[in-house]
Structure 1
Amino acid sequence: MTATQDTERSGAGPSALPHHPLIIGGEKVDTDDKLEIIDPSNGEVVATAACGTAEHIDRAVEAAQRAFDGGDWSRATPAERADVLRKMSTLLGERLEDIVELEILGNGATIRQATGFHVGYCAPHLEYFADLAARYEFERPGPRAQFPTLGQSSVRREPIGVVGAIAPWNFPLLLSLWKWAPALAVGNSVVLKPDEKTPLSALALAEIALECGMPPGVFNVVPGIGADAGSRLASHPGVGKIGFTGSTAVGREVMRLASGTVKAVTLELGGKSPAVVLDDADLETTVDGVLYGCMLYSGQVCESMTRLLVPREREQEFVDRLVERASTIQLGDTRDWETDMGPLVSAKQQERVLGYIESGRAEGATVALGGGVPDGERFTHGYWVEPTIFTGVRNDMRIAQEEIFGPVLSVIAYDDEDEAVAIANDTEYGLAASVWSADNQRALEIADRIRAGSVWINDAHQINCAVPFGGYKQSGTGRELGPDALDAFTEVKGIHLDLSGSRDARPYDVLLSHAGD
C-alpha cells in the first residue's frame, strides 16, 4: 500500500479530500479540528490533516516514554536499529514519487527540486545515519586510576529518553529526518511536530517506520499549531532534548521554553548569507551559481545566498549578466519538469516578501529585475513572486540585513577584500556563505575570515550528510549531520570500578575511623 493510498478520506464520495490522522503510539488518532493543506500554486485546499493540541503532545510523550521504558527499541542492539532504518531508506526510495507528491502538495516546491533535494536526499541521509548507528562507540574504556586506589573507568553514551523534534515547512521531510533519524539511531523515542502547512510526508514516514518494524510509540508524529502543540513539546518536562529548525525569533522562544526544564537544544535558525565574488571570478559560472544560491525554491532556503558582494569595477557586468540569466527562470506548474521555480508557500509569505521589496525601493535601492507578482492569468491564483534583483544596496538596508525568505537578491559593491569580508560578517546571522574565485588559495583565505558555519567555494547549497551543518551567532546553536551527529542525542555516563579489593586500601578513613570495628 503506497503512502498516498494509506490515508483516510474526509467526508464521503469521490470528491472528498484525502485526510491524514496523527500517529501516536503506533495508532492513527483523529481530532475535531482539521488542518487545511493548501497548494501554494493555486491557493486551493487539497487535503486535510488532524490538528494536534498540547493534549495530543502529552499523549505522544507518554507513548514515547512507555516505548522507551519497554526497551524493545532503546535496548535493541545498534545493528537491529540500523537494520530498521535501512529498511525505511529502501521503502523511501521505492515510494519516491508518492512521497514527492505529498511533499509538494503543501510547500509549492517544483517536482524537479523535490525529487532531487526535498525527498531525494532523504534515503541516502537515512542510510548514513543507519551506518553511524551500526558503528557508533556506545562505550569506551577510560583511564586506569592508580590513586587513591586502583580502579578502572569506562565512558558510556546512552539515549536521552524522549526527544522532541520541531520541523519547518520548507524542507519538511529532510529537516525533520536530520533530527529523528540520529535520535532513533541511538535508541531514543521521538515526538515530531511538523509544520501545520506541510505535515503529510512526515506522517507517511511514521507509517513506513511501523511497516519496517519500529515498535509502536517509538516514532510519533503530531502536526499542530506552533503556539499550542510546539510550545508544549518544547516545554514538556518529559522531553529531554529538542531539535528545532525555523526562524531565529521562534528559535529564541523554543530556547526559553526548553530552559524551564534545562533540556538540551539544537537550533538551526535564520540566515542572510553572502556570496563574495573576487575580482578574478569567472562571470558566467559565478552568475549561474549565485542565482542557484539565491533563487532555488524561490529563496525559501535558510542558507540562501541573498547578498551578492561584487568588486565595484565589475558590478555592472555582473548585474547585466544576472538580469539576462534570471530572466530565463521559468515559473509555472510545479508538476512540470520544465518549471524552474514555483510559488511561495503561503499568502502570508507572499505579503511578507512583497513588503520587503517595497522597503528596498523606499530605502533607495533600484529594482533591476522583477519586483512583484509575475504577469499572466495562471499567477492570479496562488502565491507568486518573480525573481527580483536589487542594485545600489547598502548593507544597512533592511533587504540586506533581514531574512526575507523569498527570491530577492541584493547586489552590494565593495572596493577591496577587507571591505568585502567586513560586509559579509556585518550581520546577526552566520549560517553559510560562498566565495567565488579562480584562485583557490585566495578563496580559502577569504573563507577563513568569514564567520559562518558553512562556506562553499565556487558552489552553493552543498549539503553533505557527512559534514556538520549549523550556524554561528544568531543562526543557531549545535550542529546537525556529520560523523558526530549522534552525540547530541546521547547522555554521557562515567562508570568507575574499584579494583583494589580491600576496604583498607580505600580512603574511607578520611571520613570514618576504624575505632568502632
Structure 2
Amino acid sequence: MPDGRLFVGGEWEAGTGPEITSVFPADGSVNRVLRGASRQDGLRAIARAKAAQADPAWRGLKPHERARYLYRIADGIEANAERIARIQTRDTGKTLRETRMLAASAAGTFRYFGAVLESMDDALTAQRGDALTMSVWEPLGLVAAITPWNSPIASDAQKVAPALAAGNAVLLKPASWSPLVALELARIVEAAGLPKGLFSVLPGSGREIGTLLVEHPDIARVSFTGGTGTGRQIARQAAEKLMPVSLELGGKSPTIVFADADPDLAIAGILFGIFSSTGQSCIAGARLFVQRAIHDAFVARLVRATERLRVGHPHDPATQVSCLVHPDHRDAVEAHVAAALAEGATLLTGGRRPEDPALAGGAYYLPTVLAGVPNSARICREEIFGPVLVVLPFEDESEVIAQANDSDYGLACGIWTRDFPKAWRVGRAITTGTVWINTYKQFSISTPFGGEKDSGMAREKGREGLRAYQAQKSVYTDLTGRPHPWAADVLEGL
C-alpha cells in the first residue's frame, strides 16, 4: 500500500486535513488510514503548479518533447501493473481480472495521448487578405481533475494524460473511498521525471478540496466525473468564473432487445452491461426493454443466466460479481430495491445478500432482476449504481424509442437486433452519448465519450480530447511590408 503521504506539488507530505480510512470492502479490513488534504495543502499545490506550468522548461517544450514524459509514464504503469491492480482491488473491491484490465487501459491512455501530441498540427488558415493567418493552440494553465471511486486508475488517466499532453499542470482529487491508487500513480509520474509541481494528488472532501479547486481563480478548467447533483453545483460555480468544464455524470441507460435478436449475444451483453463491476458503472445498462413477442421466454432465460453468475471474493479468478465499494453503498442499493418492491415491483431473482458464510463480512449483494413496473417508477428513474436490472416490455420501434428517451439521463444505450438499418434508426433516435449495437460496455480511448441531459456536458477521449485542455489563438502576420493605409497619410513628411 502507498504510505499515506500526499503528493503536493511534487513533494511527498503528510496531509493536514480530516482523516481518511481506506477499507477493503470484501472483508472490512483496513488498507490505510491517512490524513487527507486541507485547504492549506491545496493552496500550496496550486502555487507550486502555477510556478511549474509557467516555467519555460515545461511551457516551452516542443510537443514531441512533452510526449516523451507520457510514454515514460505509460511504461511505468505497465511495469507496475500488477501492483496497481492489487492496490485498486483493495481500495474498491473490484476483481483482479478487472483491475488488471484497468491498469492496462491507463497505460494505453498515456501512450495514446503521447502519440496524439506528436501528430496534431496547428493550422494555416485560408488567406483572405494581406496577412498570413494561423490558428495555434496553447495550454490553459492549471487543470483540476476530480475522479470517482468506481474505476479510479482509468478515470485518472483519461483526465491527467490529455491535460499534461496539452502543456498544463494537473491537480488530481480522487474520491475519499478510493484514494490509494492515485497516490501510486503519483509515484510513477515522479519516477518518469515530470518536472516538480506539475502534478499533485489531493485526496480530501469535496466540500473543502473540491470547492477550492473549482473556485480558485488560477484553475482554468475542471474535468469532473461523478454524480449529477455535484456536477450541477460545479457548473454553477464555473459559470461565475466563465470557466470551461467537462462533466461526465450519472446514467440510467436503456438496453433494447428486438424479437429478431440473437438471444445468446443479447443475454451475454446484458449481463456484462449491468452486472460487471457489480453494477457500479455510470453506463450500466440498468433498464432492459424486451419486445413483447419474445419477452417471457427471453426474460426467463435471462433470469436463469443471472443466477449462474459467480459471486465471490475479488481475488478469486472465477469471480464475476464481486463486492460493492463500501457497506454504506451496499445498504443504499438494498434500500432502492426495498422501495421498488414496496411500490409493486416483482422480484425475479436476487434482492438479497449472498448466503455464503465466506462472504458474510463483505459488502456483497446478489445480481438482482426486477419486473412489473412502468418506466415511470422510481426504480426506472433513479441511478442505483449497483447490480440491479429492471425489465420492461415494448411493442414496436416507436414505443421503445419514446420510453428509452423518457429519462432525465442520456449517457449510453445498447441495441440487439439482426436488422442493421433498424439498429441504425433506433440508435440515431435515442438521445445519448454512446450507442452499442450487438455489444455493450466496449471502449476505445480514440473514441469520444460523454453524455446528454443530466448525464453531463462536453466530451473526453479522442484526438479532440487533448484540444479540450488548450486555448485556441489566432495569429496574423502582415505580408505587405507597408504601413496600414488607414494611417499612411499621417506619416507623410514625418
Matched with 1:45 is 30
Whole-Å separation in 2 of the counterparts to 1:172 and 1:49: 18
Matched with 1:141 is 124
Deviation at 1:163, TM superposition (A): 0.5
Deviations 1:244-286 (A, max 9, x none): 0001111111112222222110000011100011110112221
Whole-Å separation in 2 of the counterparts to 1:508 and 1:41: 77
Deviations 1:444-479 (A, max 9, x none): 121111111100001011111111000111111110
Whole-Å separation in 2 of the counterparts to 1:464 and 1:282: 25
Counterpart secondary structure, 2:302: helix
Matched with 1:507 is 486
In structure 1, what residue type is equivalent to 2:77? L
Whole-Å separation in 2 of the counterparts to 1:242 and 1:508: 45
Matched, 1:57 2:42: yes
CA contact (8 A) 2:286 2:389 kept: yes
Counterpart secondary structure, 2:145: strand
Deviation at 1:143, TM superposition (A): 3.0
Q: Which runs of 4+ in 1 moved over 6 A?
A: none
Whole-Å separation in 2 of the counterparts to 1:55 and 1:258: 21
CA contact (8 A) 1:49 1:199 kept: no
Listed as ranges, the matches of 1:65-214 within 5 Å are 65-116=50-101, 118-137=102-121, 139-146=122-129, 150-214=130-194
Deviation at 1:500, TM superposition (A): 2.7
CA contact (8 A) 1:129 1:185 kept: yes
CA contact (8 A) 1:43 1:381 kept: yes
Whole-Å separation in 2 of the counterparts to 1:291 and 1:358: 22
Matched with 2:294 is 314
Deviation at 1:145, TM superposition (A): 3.6
Counterpart secondary structure, 2:57: coil
CA contact (8 A) 2:248 2:451 kept: yes
In structure 2, what residue type is equivalent to 1:46? N
Listed as ranges, the matches of 1:403-442 within 5 Å are 403-442=383-422
Counterpart secondary structure, 1:470: coil
Deviation at 1:25, TM superposition (A): 2.2
Deviations 1:330-357 (A, max 9, x none): 1111111111111111122112111110
Across the two proteins, how many residue pairs are aligned to each other? 493
Whole-Å separation in 2 of the counterparts to 1:363 and 1:119: 41
CA contact (8 A) 2:24 2:93 kept: yes
Deviation at 1:49, TM superposition (A): 3.1
Deviations 1:417-461 (A, max 9, x none): 110111111101110001001122221121111111100001011
Whole-Å separation in 1 of the counterparts to 2:257 and 2:487: 67
Deviation at 1:516, TM superposition (A): 10
CA contact (8 A) 1:306 1:409 kept: yes
Counterpart secondary structure, 2:376: coil
Deviation at 1:415, TM superposition (A): 1.2
Deviations 1:366-413 (A, max 9, x none): 000011211122333221111000011210011111111000000000
Whole-Å separation in 2 of the counterparts to 1:458 and 1:393: 26
Whole-Å separation in 1 of the counterparts to 2:373 and 2:270: 17
Listed as ranges, the matches of 1:283-362 within 5 Å are 283-362=263-342
Matched with 1:379 is 359
Whole-Å separation in 2 of the counterparts to 1:87 and 1:331: 37
Matched, 1:475 2:455: yes
In structure 2, what residue type is equivalent to 1:124? G
Whole-Å separation in 1 of the counterparts to 2:255 and 2:131: 55
Whole-Å separation in 2 of the counterparts to 1:161 and 1:291: 43
CA contact (8 A) 1:73 1:214 kept: no
Whole-Å separation in 2 of the counterparts to 1:345 and 1:315: 33
Whole-Å separation in 2 of the counterparts to 1:385 and 1:341: 9
> Tell me, which stretches of 5 or more residues in structure 2 are unaligned?
none
Bigger drift between 239-248 and 325-334 goes to 325-334
CA contact (8 A) 2:113 2:161 kept: yes
Matched with 2:425 is 445
In structure 1, what residue type is equivalent to 2:50? Q
CA contact (8 A) 1:298 1:407 kept: yes
Whole-Å separation in 1 of the counterparts to 2:315 and 2:455: 32
Whole-Å separation in 2 of the counterparts to 1:506 and 1:160: 36
**Superposition RMSD on alpha carbons, in Å?**
1.5
CA contact (8 A) 2:414 2:437 kept: yes
CA contact (8 A) 2:147 2:226 kept: yes
